[in-house]
Structures are given as C-alpha cells and as structure tokens.
C-alpha cells in the first residue's frame, strides 16, 4: 500500500535524523511501540525502513573511512 510506505518512510527518515543528531537510538523503539499499539502493519514497515536507513548510514561511514585511509 503506497500510503503506508510513504508515511513510514517519512517517519523513519525524521526519527533517524534525530537519532543520529542526538545519538539517541531509543527514540525509534518508543515510536515503534507507539505505532504497534495502533497498527502492527505500520510498526513493521517503520522498523524495516529504520533498518534500511541504519544500514545505509553504516555503509556510507565505512566507505568514507576507506576513502580517508586510502587517500
């Protein structure tokens, strides 16, 4: 469902930005629990989006480190 993807992607991007800025990974857990109280489908989509964002962030950090070490 497109609206589910759009909403959870936007929410995950916002939460991830705050998580990185404030070094606060607990925020995603709080949001996830709140979503799960209303919609487990939205909760799962949010958690998936958060995993993708975190994975991308780690991969980009690895690439940046590699470039710095080789440069």
Which DSSP string do the residues of 14-58 spell out, in sequence order? HHHHHHHHHT-THHHHHHHHHHHHH-HHHHHHHHHHHHHHHHHHH
Report domain extents, the chain: 2-70
Q: What is the pLDDT of residues 18-66, one digit of tens each?
A: 999 999 999 999 999 999 999 999 999 999 999 999 999 999 999 999 8
Backbone phi and psi for residue 23, each to the nearest 5 degrees, phi listed first = 50, 55
> What value, to the nearest 5°, has the Cα angle with vertex 14 and ends 10 and 16?
115
Q: How confident is the model at residue 71 (pLDDT cuts 50, 70, 90)?
A: low
């Amino acid at each position: 469902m497109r609206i589910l993807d759009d909403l959870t992607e936007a929410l995950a991007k916002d939460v991830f930005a705050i998580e990185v800025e404030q070094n606060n990974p607990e925020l995603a857990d709080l949001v996830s629990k709140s979503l799960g109280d209303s919609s487990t489908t939205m909760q799962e989509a949010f958690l998936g989006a958060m995993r993708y964002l975190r994975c991308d962030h780690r991969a980009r950090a690895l690439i940046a480190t590699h470039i710095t070490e080789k440069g």
